[in-house]
Amino acid sequence: MEECVRLGIEYLTLYCLSSENWKRPKSELDFLLRLLEQYIVEERQTFLENNVRVVVIGKREGIPSHVQREIDKTVEMTADQTGLCLCLAVNYGGRAEILDAVRAIAAKVAEGQLSPNDIDEATFSAHLYTAGMPDPDLLIRTAGELRVSNFLLWQISYAELWVTDVCWPDFDENLLRQAIRDYARRVRRFGGLAVSPS
């Protein structure tokens, strides 16, 4: 996070807890939730000193109330920060996010607030948990995994992928810089033809 601040990156989303992680042993889940709570409390001063705004996406169900309180307190304390937006995906699943967006749009259609013919990509994006945030440019996948694991399924449609065999706890600033350097060398076509650099 601090390296992203130094590099001038505006948005960083970290996958903290997947909605599928509830299938893991209770002891592991308890540890992950304690770690999340500890992080969200211990890093508050760092967030403030680095002008970082914290937002959280995902479902609150299943997250212990004491963890929710600490998350809410951090989000509130950093709400007016104007630097990096640190988005924490907690109890998050891309498919669930898409279903929630579809339900919200369907409700507006049913109430006559929205015509089906007016639904476009912008309408859909505005009903996602990440409404108001740009789509990611770069998706970094650690541990050598070659899957997106239900992460930001709509938003990453044109993200560049970068995979490392290094596991998340060992991912450091040097690897982040390497990923960004590799990303900067790529030609992004968004479905079009490659254009020679001028």
- Would residue 150 show up in a list of annotated catalytic residues for this protein? no
| Ramachandran assignment for 24, one of left (phi > 0), alpha (psi -120 to 50 degrees), beta (any other) | beta
Question: What is the residue-wise DSSP string for 158-170?
Answer: TPEEEE-SS-GGG
3-state secondary structure of 123: helix
Please state, in angstroms and rounded to a whole number, the distance separating the CA atoms of residues 79 and 82. 8
Candidates 21, 91, 117, 150; catalytic one: 21
Neighbouring C-beta atoms of residue 99, cutoff 10 Å: 11
Q: Which of 90, 59, 83 is nearest to 11 (CA)?
A: 83
DSSP H or E run through 30: helix 26-42
| Annotated binding-site positions | 18-20, 22, 24, 141, 147-149, 160
Q: Residue 12's beta-bridge partner residues? A: 86
Please state, in angstroms and rounded to a whole number, the distance separating the CA atoms of residues 79 and 188. 33
Quick one: tokens of 49? 């000193």
How do beta strands 53-57 and 85-92 pair? parallel
| Annotated binding-site positions for Mg(2+) | 160
| Annotated binding-site positions for substrate | 18-20, 22, 24, 141, 147-149
Catalytic annotation, residues:
21
